């Protein structure tokens, strides 16, 4: 594997997999549709969650091919989103200060922006990494 484009971490993927019945590891690897399905079905009643234990290395490889490495680290952005997303810290980290402050003052635009970022954070980081 070309480590120059190692955008996602298997370790973070497995840590998020522990909470995988919420779909968090699938969002991290750029699979928002199945992440949402996992969220509403508790990891397909636990069966999909268990199968994902073996699928994470493949999801990691695909994410490394799909997304672009650069100055913003995907794993850091995802940890900030997961644990401090309602405060906009992840947005400030990727350089979106105005919306980060807006999230800070509105609890992630009342939670809706927070959920939007679960769907789009990988693409947001890729755009920032592509621009310089």
Same domain, yes or no: 79 and 62:
no
Same domain, yes or no: 14 and 51:
yes
Number of domains the chain is built from: 2
**What is the residue range of 31's domain?**
3-66
Could you read off the pLDDT of 10-50 as tens digits, one per residue? Answer: 999 999 999 777 889 999 999 999 999 998 999 899 999 99
Residue 94 sits at the vertex; the CA angle it makes with 11 and 90, to the nearest 5 degrees, is: 65
Average pLDDT over residues 49-56: 95
Same domain, yes or no: 8 and 50:
yes
| Predicted structure pTM score | 0.87
Two tokens, residue 48: 């999909």
| Tokens 């350089």, located at residue | 95
């Amino acid at each position: 594997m070309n480590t120059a484009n190692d955008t996602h971490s298997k370790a973070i993927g497995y840590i998020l997999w522990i909470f995988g019945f919420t779909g968090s590891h699938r969002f991290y690897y750029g699979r928002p549709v199945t992440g949402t399905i996992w969220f509403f079905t508790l990891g397909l009643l636990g069966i999909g969650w268990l199968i994902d234990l073996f699928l994470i290395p493949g999801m990691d490889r695909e994410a490394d091919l799909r997304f672009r490495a650069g100055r913003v680290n995907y794993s850091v952005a995802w940890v900030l989103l997961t644990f401090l997303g309602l405060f906009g810290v992840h947005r400030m980290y990727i350089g979106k200060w105005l919306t980060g402050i807006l999230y800070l003052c509105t609890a992630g635009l009342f939670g809706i922006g927070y959920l939007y970022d679960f769907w789009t954070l990988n693409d947001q980081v890729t755009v920032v990494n592509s621009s310089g």
